[in-house]
Structure 1
């Protein structure tokens, strides 16, 4: 068979094609003058937040490769200039590609950056900014012998996460002290949780007296019934004034667990009685219905619910209100809240994310502890 040799030489941009034997041409590219480079203007700093993760951070643009037949371009990123660990941001035949904030956030995670203003680097500086690197890779050739890669010069960019500034609560906790408080008495061991202008605390009330204090162990900071009445507060009818002396609050309701809520915006003091959780499902004695046979889990101490009943193979979930079907207290609810859940329970994987009992059928005591964030089965 006749041999054919092709030779093309371009001065400046050097390109050499050589055909050879058996009518099967071979493509060879000389890369000595070929290059790719970014042509867009980069910001001096890219400010990132998880709230804007779906936004476009920038559009990368580069000049086209003029050699070869393979026109695929891959945009790559890394957290070091040597590209020790390459992250592919995508492949395109175009000469541009958008980069999302979410992709920069992934790189920020690799750098160990975070939004917490309390964390710092080893040098004491805030741990929310760093440098990442970009490049574009293409190929000259048709994928066969002689194919070689072109890699652009590396572009360095600065990224910074927006620090999460703690929202001011606009109030300080207050202490609840008195013999009307079970396991507290006249000791400074129980304080409210402050949410903006609202104070909340779970209390196991006994018949007796109590008052509030704005500072721990400081008896001079007491706030009694007459103080709130004088400020125009509407006070729950189960709380009355002592009428003399220290003018303490007197609990005059049915002893039990209540949520005490002091709202300084609405100017109200309210007691919300504790309610049970209802257990419904085919793993429990009452099955899947609210017919009166369902099991109640009672709040035995503030934020601790407990009940003993028989479990069988099946699924269930907890309900806050009898007869109201919701998924507020399913397996996912507690797992997402950081609870450590007994291994005899699993997520059933359904849309309702029920609890699935996978232990040996029998009678158990289940305890939900919202203080320690645990669900135990004994």
Structure 2
């Protein structure tokens, strides 16, 4: 561990020196000899530093007054060496106190070779963000002539620590969703989330019942219940309540149906997004090219599977995720690019919109879009 200096006071508690202010309260001044100089403030056990708070006061050094002559200045000095072989003048004042800024402690931390990168360590493999620095104050007693004496306080060690930057993760392990609130799952380990950059997603059919998350497949000792997320400050969707006892499971109290559940560990939120339909619109469909009530709705019959039965003619159409909103996000090219196996009765119409073109025998069909198996079929 590197040694770092820092002697300051602002009785803002160590934990968040970042909130330190100019408050000089809680200072006890001892009755010292005029020929003795010593710090009077209380020092925190550790000072937490960050570049974002470099202009904040980390602490205020306070000392007793001495009998001064022509030289009425006090000098505050610091060093990264307890022997003060190369003292640094932090500042001079004719008052008996001096505010030390976070930025001045950061300069000392830099001299010690400390940083806020969680990937770096010291020679012992420990985090490279903490150390000790040293402070003292000196003055001159006398009138500048014979008998003038320079006096220096005892050396005060100060523990400093840089707040390490949080590293954004791009990968994360899935969670298993287990409980009787999940249709066709129950208390079995067969439904896992998909996780990316700290965001877990899963789509499921919810009904009134209980469930909780598990970190390891089949391991009942790795459960994460409602209370766990509540205690860790998560905002939880109103469709969930706590069981309140026992395993403190999640209880689903919303309307039965299909939802996408999103657990965002970055924002600390758990929310449900209700199922959404797809809309088939175009010349090949009964409603033609308009959203006036005749368009064909493909309902999500089970998680990530949409289906509708309707008449098709030899013409073009495409799907829309939002009723009344025109886009080309769900055209033939989109599904082909996503690796879907598309029924041979459809082909790309070759236009800029890359519509579906129905080339089969006109008639009534059941069309199924299966995002689980990545298929589009006609029956």
Same fold (TM over 0.5): yes
Distance in 1 of aligned mates of 2:330 and 2:170: 27
Map of 2:6 onto structure 1:
none
User: Could you tell me how far 1:196 is from its partner in structure 2?
Assistant: 1.1
Distance in 1 of aligned mates of 2:293 and 2:267: 38
Higher RCO, 1 vs 2 (CA within 8 Å, ≥6 residues apart): 2
User: Could you tell me how far 1:317 is from its partner in structure 2?
Assistant: 0.2
- Does the Cα contact within 8 Å between 1:204 and 1:255 map onto a contact in 2? yes
Q: Which runs of 5+ in 1 are unaligned?
A: 1-166
Q: Give a deviation string over 1:22-46, Cα, whole Å, max 9, x none.
A: xxxxxxxxxxxxxxxxxxxxxxxxx
Any residues of structure 2 matched to 1:64-143 within 5 Å, and which?
A: none
Distance in 2 of aligned mates of 1:168 and 1:371: 26
User: Could you tell me how far 1:170 is from its partner in structure 2?
Assistant: 3.1
TM-score (norm 2): 0.55
Q: What is the DSSP-based 3-state SS (H/G/I as helix, E as strand, rest coil) of the residue aligned with 2:328?
A: coil
Distance in 1 of aligned mates of 2:364 and 2:243: 47
Aligned: 1:280 with 2:247: no
- Does the Cα contact within 8 Å between 1:169 and 1:194 map onto a contact in 2? no
Map of 2:217 onto structure 1:
216
Map of 1:293 onto structure 2:
294
- How big is the alpha-carbon RMSD for the aligned residues of Structure 1 and Structure 2? 1.1
Map of 2:314 onto structure 1:
313
Q: Give a deviation string over 1:76-131, Cα, whole Å, max 9, x none.
A: xxxxxxxxxxxxxxxxxxxxxxxxxxxxxxxxxxxxxxxxxxxxxxxxxxxxxxxx
Q: What is the DSSP-based 3-state SS (H/G/I as helix, E as strand, rest coil) of the residue aligned with 1:286?
A: coil
Map of 1:204 onto structure 2:
205
- Does the Cα contact within 8 Å between 1:173 and 1:194 map onto a contact in 2? yes
Distance in 1 of aligned mates of 2:339 and 2:172: 26
Any residues of structure 2 matched to 1:147-162 within 5 Å, and which?
A: none
Q: What is the DSSP-based 3-state SS (H/G/I as helix, E as strand, rest coil) of the residue aligned with 2:322?
A: coil
Distance in 2 of aligned mates of 1:222 and 1:315: 50
Distance in 1 of aligned mates of 2:236 and 2:294: 37
Aligned: 1:187 with 2:197: no
Q: What is the DSSP-based 3-state SS (H/G/I as helix, E as strand, rest coil) of the residue aligned with 1:254?
A: coil
Q: Which runs of 5+ in 2 are unaligned?
A: 1-167
User: Could you tell me how far 1:169 is from its partner in structure 2?
Assistant: 3.8
- Does the Cα contact within 8 Å between 1:176 and 1:213 map onto a contact in 2? yes
Map of 2:358 onto structure 1:
357
Aligned: 1:228 with 2:225: no
Distance in 2 of aligned mates of 1:170 and 1:320: 28
Map of 1:241 onto structure 2:
242
